[in-house]
Amino acid sequence: MRLHRVRSVSLACSLVVAAMGLTACGLTSANDVNGGSGKAAAATSAQDLGGMDALVAAAKKEGKLNTIALPRDWANYGEIIDTFEKKYGIKVEVENPDAASQDEINAIASRKGQDRSPDVIDVGRAFAISAAGQNLLAPYRVSAFDQIPKGQKDAQARWYNDFGGYVSIGCDAARVKKCPTTFADLLDPQYKGQIALTGNPTKSGSSFSSVYAAALANKGSFDDVKPGLDFFARLKKAGNFNPVESTPATIQKGETPISIDWDYLNSGYSDELRAKGVDWKVSIPTDGVYSEYYSQAIAKWAPHPAAARLWQEFLYSPEGQNLWLKGHARPVLMPAMQQAGTLDADSAAKLPPAPGNGTTAFPTEAQISKAKQAVAQGWAQAVAE
């Protein structure tokens, strides 16, 4: 009967379609890894390409830069991107602005050789070190490489710190009678249900650093983060800890009247929130001073290798560094620029005063790893119901 024939034919069709689907899966990664600009991809400095002008020309020819996880309200990235686009006529794509460091590494690793792979990343230092270890990063010496302090760059130039800041306490002066300025203040009963972090410290870098800072404020050390966990457990017990993840939106609604976050973010929010009638005050707690830098790196198989290198040159030029500074972040070249007289003094004066003349120590990689393990193990217990 025809019926049976139809059935068999449709069966054969489905099998063919299924088989084609499988074959198609196997073909997706057939892109050329080096692309057309093999020379830029191998360049470890602007000189390799014949100087800055040649780099600019090569980058303009590519015309595009893939970035990931750069929120416009984070350290003035909005203006940085706009300035770069205007200056060089290169389109900057920002994928998933709110992604985390691990997402950035995943995007590079999983899209090896594809046009959609990010060209550059801005990640927590531990992630830069881990990505370099996984052989995901291209070495490149920006012109200012030698001016970056020694402890803040990879010897092989696969990553270097870009900007950083201090853990700070932001506070809605309209809702809070007296804004807290130290970790000790936070335990005051008047702050019931008001003190929020930006996320879970096992996930959010600023929250993890807040726990570290709280540890330093409570007789802990870089080797011992436990007092920080104990502090948040006490905060929880006192009813002062607010589990809502703070964002500019929750601040504006009054849901998170006190938020512990990076000083450059809190300061940036106060500009943004002032227009909406929120008086957002920022202070760096004097009893728990902790600062950290993020790191900049180029993906090994950046689809736009010249644009990626030009982006780094731009970020580490006085112009790029001053734009970060304008966003209340402390650029890594700040001391060098202060000496050279290229620092934007007005923006620098707007930063919350740095405790201890701006000379802070950083924990070593081993100390951070140990602290992360301790926080991952102890956080849930500290603040759980």
Partner 1 sequence: MSAVQTAARGDSLPRSSGGTTSHGAARRWRLPRSARWLGVLPLLVFAVVVFGLSAGTMVFGAFTTPETMPGGARFTGANFIASLHGPHLAALINSVELSAVSALIAAVVGLPIAHAVVTSRFRALREAALAGAGVLANVGGVPLAFAFVATLGNAGVLTTHFALRSHGWNLYSFWGLTLAYLYFLIPLMVLTLAPALDGLRRQWREAARNNGASAFRYWTHVALPILMPSLLGGFVLLFGSAFSAYATAAAMVGSSVPLVTMQIADALSGDVLVGEGNVALALGVDMVLVAGLVMAVQLPLQRRSARWLA
State which residue, 134 or 339, has the beta carbon closest to partner 1.
134
DSSP type of residue 246: P
Supply the minimum distance, in Å, between the C-beta of residue 87 and partner 1.
30
Can you tell me the distance from the alpha carbon of 267 to that of 168, in angstroms, rounded to the nearest whole number? 9
**How does strand 280-283 pair with strand 159-172?**
antiparallel
Residue 179, by phi and psi: left (phi above 0), alpha (psi -120 to 50) or beta?
A: beta
State which residue, 16 or 42, has the beta carbon closest to partner 1.
16
Asked whether the beta carbons of 217 and 184 are under 8 A apart, the reply is yes
Supply the minimum distance, in Å, between the C-beta of residue 325 and partner 1.
22
Q: Which residues bind partner 1 (CB under 8 A)?
A: 1-5, 7-8, 11, 14-15, 17-18, 21-22, 25, 99-103, 106, 123-124, 126-127, 130, 133-134, 192-194, 199-206, 208, 236, 241-245, 253-255, 372, 375-381, 383-385
State which residue, 156 or 377, has the beta carbon closest to partner 1.
377
Supply the minimum distance, in Å, between the C-beta of residue 193 and partner 1.
5
State which residue, 29 or 106, has the beta carbon closest to partner 1.
106
Supply the minimum distance, in Å, between the C-beta of residue 385 and partner 1.
5
Burial string for 38-52 (b: 16+ CB within 10 Å, else e) reads eebbebebbebbeee
Supply the minimum distance, in Å, between the C-beta of residue 88 and partner 1.
29
Terminal-to-terminal C-alpha distance of the chain? 69
State which residue, 3 or 275, has the beta carbon closest to partner 1.
3
Asked whether the beta carbons of 228 and 249 are under 8 A apart, the reply is no
Supply the minimum distance, in Å, between the C-beta of residue 343 and partner 1.
28
Asked whether the beta carbons of 325 and 344 are under 8 A apart, the reply is yes
State which residue, 36 or 243, has the beta carbon closest to partner 1.
243
Can you tell me the distance from the alpha carbon of 105 to that of 127, in angstroms, rounded to the nearest whole number? 8
Residues whose CB falls within 8 Å of the CB of residue 18, separated by 6 or more in sequence, listed in order? none
Supply the minimum distance, in Å, between the C-beta of residue 2 and partner 1.
5
State which residue, 46 or 171, has the beta carbon closest to partner 1.
171
Q: Is 345 exposed, middle or buried (0-12, 13-18, 19+ CB in 10 A)?
A: exposed
Fill in the amino acid letter for 52: M
Supply the minimum distance, in Å, between the C-beta of residue 102 and partner 1.
5
Can you tell me the distance from the alpha carbon of 165 to that of 136, in angstroms, rounded to the nearest whole number? 27
Supply the minimum distance, in Å, between the C-beta of residue 182 and partner 1.
23
State which residue, 26 or 341, has the beta carbon closest to partner 1.
26
State which residue, 88 or 231, has the beta carbon closest to partner 1.
231
* Tokens (6 digits) for 281: 């005050």
Can you tell me the distance from the alpha carbon of 267 to that of 68, in angstroms, rounded to the nearest whole number? 23
Can you tell me the distance from the alpha carbon of 109 to that of 132, in angstroms, rounded to the nearest whole number? 12
